[in-house]
Amino acid sequence: MEEISYRELKEIELDEALFVKFNRYQDVKKCWRKENGEWLLKDIAFTEQWSLDEYRELTKYLQNTIKTGGTVFGAFNKDVLVGFASLENEFFGSNKEYLQLSSIHTSYEYRGCGIGKKLFSLICRQAKELGAQKLYISAHSAQETQEFYKAMGCTEAVEYNEKLVAAEPCDCQLEYVLA
């Protein structure tokens, strides 16, 4: 595999063309669900694959992240985007200690190569520099997604962000304590 380079993205770089070779594909077989206060792994199967409209929405979302003072990092194989992660700039929680890791994705063909781990590390460093004590992640409930976050050291959030829960009620609400 080619060497992967990482850098902070500028708003002007975020357009649909950036994502033309990005493959969001995920074949989900099992998802976590919280029932009666207990987490259960359930047989919930579907294929996740973003449409052109979803890439357009993503582009606007990431542009807004930067406009509002947040950060977007990209991982590149030569000039092809193979991973990205975004950090919002709005503190929340009862002690204003959380910043949200709003997205982290690796293109299907590049998963398992450490790209997500490196992007997570870059987001953690940026969040610490901004003064956050914890990252907050409203994460897809797919088994493999949750395994990634567990491997990074994430745990169930002590405080839930109700706005994020309402937007994605099936997501797992996680946090990562920034050491």
Q: Token pair for residue 158?
A: 């002590």
SS3 (DSSP) at 171: coil
Within 27-142, residue ranges assigned H as helices are 52-67, 115-129
How far is Cα 142 from Cα 152, in angstroms, rounded to an integer? Answer: 16
pLDDT tens sequence across 110-159: 999 999 999 999 999 999 999 999 999 999 999 999 999 999 999 999 99
Reported as a single tens digit per residue, the pLDDT across 29-84 is 999 999 998 999 999 999 989 898 999 999 999 999 999 999 999 999 999 999 99
Cβ partners under 8 Å of residue 46, min gap 6: 28
Distance CA 61, CA 85 (A): 12
Domains and CATH numbers, the chain: 4-177 (3.40.630.30)
Average pLDDT over residues 160-175: 96
Region 10-22 average pLDDT: 95
